[in-house]
């Protein structure tokens, strides 16, 4: 064993909290071998978050051109349209897959040939920091790991969780209404009932077998070698199973994340671990750990539905109250703020923030615009709403409204995301003003397809350049906000923040730079009425960054759905 790592006993200590002493020792030896394997393959980077960091969330095949690999088309689009104001890209799973638009991974270490190659990924990394998806709760039933398991390959024995279907699993927290167990026939024609949290094509890995952990760590280090500066741990809350428990947020789950971070940071201390856990807010933020040992960034799931609720009700009480409760365990962690994603708008995070009536009102508005709702099962057999499936503009506005009003509402919500403490994530379809893709749902029969449309490159660019089109208006306003934001030290991810209660229809947040030399008061009118608010800003030298004019009074006028970023 390399002496450099022999004295590092924290990894071993974490392993001993999860596994038997014998398995912990075996795993520790394997981990040191992995470190030796990758330490000379990964080039050191100096990467620290700043106000310039904004992450675009996109599929590898988001924009398509005839006779061109999608990753090349994406790179061309980004360089032409967004490079000047977006510096990071979250490429949703680009590996070979069998379903769920990439989240049923067949082979972790390959790029789907239809998308492009590792060279294309490397080319993207030249101009953008990259976030890779670590879809490590489950693999595709078509994956080599699962197929070898069904063939009774001894190397893959106990790689998956087999359960007698007579066992009572009603207490397990479910994110879906589908069965928790599915049966598969092995090489001996024997039925195997295997744990599947999400679908039959997404077979959960069994981390109680330390060999699974080693195989996954190898994948994560491989991703860092291939250019990942951020690793998004998909659906990580469900990763450890103990029958008789809820099988969500178990202590072993948290220890696994801490262990993964520690191993990766032995070689690549700049890599940021991001956890994706669509659960109630208080449970979600538990993945920060003590602020130094677990996720460095956590998806801020409550923000999206709270913004939609505030627009719908023209009232910011719930948003303000929630934002006022936000706290971080250290100055080394932050939120990943977003309004939309490939999964739609999750509702679990606000299950204890908004009333059932408030949630029902959101659902009615989404359905009015042609959207859908996905449900989850509870332990008593009930079905509760899990997420809103719609483009974000069709969640927060109505199709029969005038275009300029829809644009104002959309940009208002996106501006709030940009001013919240942490790093902003922007879904591609939000950036370019996409509406519901109902034809996509008809083709796939999947609700989530409504917000996963793949766009023709030439058609999209034509619309972005067409003066007066909704795509052009949203994109240009977004571009203007981002261009302003990246130059303001007060929007540093780790800068101080304070929520102000100025008016029931207004959301206001004060941001300060780390050195406290700059302050910005971001004020948002969530109503269709003109308002006047008294603010605590200093009158001398205050300046409205968006409207480019001096502010000489503490009483600020706000037109309907108006945004003001006042620097002072």
Would you name the residues annotated as active-site residues? 234
User: How many CB atoms sit inside 10 A of residue 355's CB?
Assistant: 11
Residue 364, classified by CB atoms within 10 Å of its CB into exposed (0-12), middle (13-18) or buried (19+), is: exposed
What lies within 8 Å, CB to CB, of 326 at 6+ separation is: 335, 421, 497, 499
Among residues 255, 153, 260, 149, which one has the least CA distance to residue 203? 149
Among residues 310, 210, 224, which one has the least CA distance to residue 44? 224
Containing 485, the helix (H) or strand (E) segment is: helix 470-485
Distance CA 277, CA 275 (A): 6
Q: Is residue 183 a contact partner of residue 197, using CB atoms and an 8 Å limit?
A: no
Residue 268, classified by CB atoms within 10 Å of its CB into exposed (0-12), middle (13-18) or buried (19+), is: buried
- 3-state SS, one letter per residue, for 117-151: CHHHHHHHHCCCEEEEEECCCEEECCCHHHHHHHC
Distance CA 138, CA 242 (A): 16
User: How many CB atoms sit inside 10 A of residue 326's CB?
Assistant: 18
Please list, residue by residue across 202-230, b when 16 or more beta carbons sit within 10 angstroms of its beta carbon and e when fewer do.
bbbbbbbbbbbbbbbbbbbbbbbebbbbb
Phi and psi at 531, nearest 5°, equal -130, 160
CA pseudo-torsion sign 251, 252, 257, 260: positive
Distance CA 147, CA 143 (A): 6
Residue 555, classified by CB atoms within 10 Å of its CB into exposed (0-12), middle (13-18) or buried (19+), is: exposed
| DSSP secondary structure of 64-85 | E-TTS-HHHHHHHHHHHHTTTT
Distance CA 132, CA 433 (A): 24
Over its C-alpha atoms, the chain yields an Rg (Å, rounded) of 24
Distance CA 366, CA 436 (A): 10
Among residues 65, 118, 55, 56, which one has the least CA distance to residue 454? 65
Among residues 331, 281, 288, which one has the least CA distance to residue 306? 281
């Amino acid at each position: 064993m390399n002496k450099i790592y022999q004295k590092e006993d924290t990894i071993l200590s974490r392993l001993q909290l999860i596994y038997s002493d014998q398995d912990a020792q075996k795993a520790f030896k394997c981990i040191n071998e992995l470190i030796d394997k990758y330490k000379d393959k990964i080039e050191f980077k100096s990467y620290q978050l700043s106000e310039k960091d904004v992450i675009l969330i996109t599929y590898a095949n988001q924009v398509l051109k005839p006779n061109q690999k999608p990753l090349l088309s994406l790179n061309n689009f980004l360089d032409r349209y967004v490079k000047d104001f977006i510096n990071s890209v979250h490429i949703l799973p680009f590996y070979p897959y069998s379903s769920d638009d990439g989240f049923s991974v067949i082979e972790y270490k390959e790029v789907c040939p239809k998308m492009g190659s590792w060279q294309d990924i490397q080319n993207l990394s030249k101009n953008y920091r990259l976030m890779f998806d670590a879809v490590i709760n489950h693999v595709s039933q078509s994956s080599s790991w699962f197929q070898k398991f069904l063939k009774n390959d001894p190397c893959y024995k106990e790689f998956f969780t087999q359960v007698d279907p007579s066992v009572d699993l009603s207490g397990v927290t479910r994110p879906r209404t589908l069965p928790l167990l599915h049966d598969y026939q092995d090489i001996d024609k024997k039925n195997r009932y295997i744990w599947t949290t999400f679908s039959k094509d997404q077979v959960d890995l069994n981390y109680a077998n330390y060999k699974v952990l080693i195989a996954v760590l190898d994948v994560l280090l491989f991703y860092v070698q291939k250019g990942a500066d951020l690793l998004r741990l998909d659906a990580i809350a469900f990763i450890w199973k103990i029958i008789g428990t809820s099988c969500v947020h178990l202590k072993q789950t948290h220890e696994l994340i801490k262990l993964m971070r520690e191993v990766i940071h032995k070689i690549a201390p700049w890599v940021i671990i991001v956890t994706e856990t669509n659960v109630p807010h208080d449970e979600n933020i538990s993945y920060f750990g003590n602020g130094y040992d677990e996720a460095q960034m956590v998806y801020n799931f409550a923000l999206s539905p709270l913004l939609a609720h505030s627009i719908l009700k023209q009232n910011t009480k719930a948003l303000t109250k929630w934002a006022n409760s936000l706290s971080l365990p250290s100055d080394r962690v932050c939120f990943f703020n977003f309004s939309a994603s490939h999964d739609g708008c999750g509702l679990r995070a606000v299950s204890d923030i908004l009333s059932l009536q408030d949630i029902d009102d959101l659902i009615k508005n989404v359905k009015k615009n042609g959207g859908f709702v996905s449900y989850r099962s509870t332990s008593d057999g009930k079905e509760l709403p899990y997420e809103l499936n719609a483009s974000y503009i069709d969640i927060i506005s109505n199709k029969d409204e005038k275009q300029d009003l829809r644009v104002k509402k959309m940009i208002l919500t996106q501006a709030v995301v940009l001013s919240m403490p942490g790093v902003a994530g922007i879904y591609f379809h939000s950036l370019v003003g996409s509406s519901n893709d109902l034809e996509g749902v008809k083709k796939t029969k999947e609700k989530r397809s409504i917000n996963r449309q793949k766009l023709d490159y030439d058609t999209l660019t034509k619309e972005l350049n067409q003066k007066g089109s909704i795509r052009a208006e949203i994109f240009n306003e977004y571009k203007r906000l981002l261009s302003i934001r990246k130059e303001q030290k007060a929007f540093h991810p780790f800068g101080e923040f304070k929520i102000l209660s100025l008016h029931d229809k207004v959301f206001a947040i004060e941001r300060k730079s780390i050195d406290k030399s700059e302050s910005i008061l971001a004020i948002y009118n969530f109503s269709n009425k003109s308002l006047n608010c008294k603010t605590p800003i200093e009158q001398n030298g205050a300046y409205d960054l968006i409207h480019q004019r001096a502010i000489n009074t503490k009483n600020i006028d706000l037109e309907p759905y108006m945004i003001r970023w006042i620097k002072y």
